[in-house]
Amino acid sequence: MTRFSTWLVKSQDLTSSAGPLIEETHTNVAYWETSGNLPRSDVLLPMAQALGVSVEELLGAPKPKASGKPAGKAQQLFSAVSKLPRRQQEKIFDILRPFVREQAGSQPS
């Protein structure tokens, strides 16, 4: 069983319920469920939306994991700092290190 057909089986009777949502016939959806063959590319996006997943997930790509990198304002700030000359970066690090240590130490365990 392919990753695609696994999604269809998990969808809890996609054949009868989602066929109209993706504007496909019962026969087409049943064929994809049983054969594991992929539908036409124009059907993938509506099908993924009906199943509540991305097209990439539907086709077998794993969900993207959090990168562990700062996001939002922190990312913008660190990006800007990384473009500064090394000497200025060191000055900023000298200010931030004690603050970060203090904050990390004051967090409840």
| Residue 12 to residue 27: CA distance in whole angstroms | 16
Question: In sequence order, which residues have a C-beta less than 8 Å from that of residue 27 and are 6 or more positions away?
Answer: none
Mean of the pLDDT values across residues 42-49? 82
pLDDT per position as a tens digit, 82-109: 899 999 999 999 999 999 899 888 766 5
Q: What is the pLDDT of residue 50?
A: 77
Mean of the pLDDT values across residues 59-68? 70
pTM value? 0.45
**CATH topology (fold) of 3-58:** 434 Repressor (Amino-terminal Domain) (1.10.260)
Band (pLDDT 50/70/90 cuts) for residue 1 is: very low
